[in-house]
Amino acid sequence: MDVTEEVWDKILDINVKATALMTKAVVPEMEKRGGGSVVIVASIAAYTPFPGLGPYNVSKTALLGLGKNLAIELAHSNIRVNCLAPGIIKTNFSQVLWMDKAREETLKEAMRIRRLGTPEDCAGIVSFLCSEDASYITGETVTVAGGAPSRL
């Protein structure tokens, strides 16, 4: 509750508004090609918010709604829209969560699969969602989070 309006604006602009505008920018090219696939990167925080990261959590939940909405709006153009909701993936962005070994072990204990994710854990899912193998999938969210709870 102590987050400033400027922080709210920045996070929502970067995570939600930019995603919507980037999609809007690429749709005409996808339509020229007869269709395509958009994969929006949300987060497990959309389902299980991280304490102290309210605006981030809300922005990632908003992306799930954006994906559902765009899937409906773009289906007539043969453009599929899905979301990826990664859990804690070992990247520079998330290192504050796992850099301390004791904290990393605590995180692992809370997961069904007792390890943190890697970018490679997400790459295959994104590749699949962009492929013809996923041609009948739109408006869905795939969670890659080691078994963390993933329902609203």
Residue with tokens 């007539």: 76
Q: Catalytic pick from 19, 56, 60, 62?
A: 56
Please give the torsion angle defined by the CA atoms of residues 48, 144, 61 and 47, in that order, rounded to the nearest 10 degrees: -20
* Tens of each residue's pLDDT in the chain, 152 residues: 899 999 999 999 999 999 999 999 999 999 999 999 999 999 999 998 988 899 999 999 999 999 999 999 999 999 999 999 999 888 888 777 777 788 777 777 777 778 888 999 999 999 999 999 999 999 999 999 888 878 77
Query: 147 is written with which tokens?
Result: 């078994």
Closest to 143 in 3D by CA, of 45, 12, 17: 45
Judge whether 136 counts as a catalytic residue. Answer: no
- Helix, strand, or coil (residue 134): helix
Closest to 116 in 3D by CA, of 103, 129, 128: 103
Domains with residue ranges and CATH for the chain:
5-144 (3.40.50.720)
- Please indicate, yes or no, whether the overall pTM of this predicted structure exceeds 0.85: yes
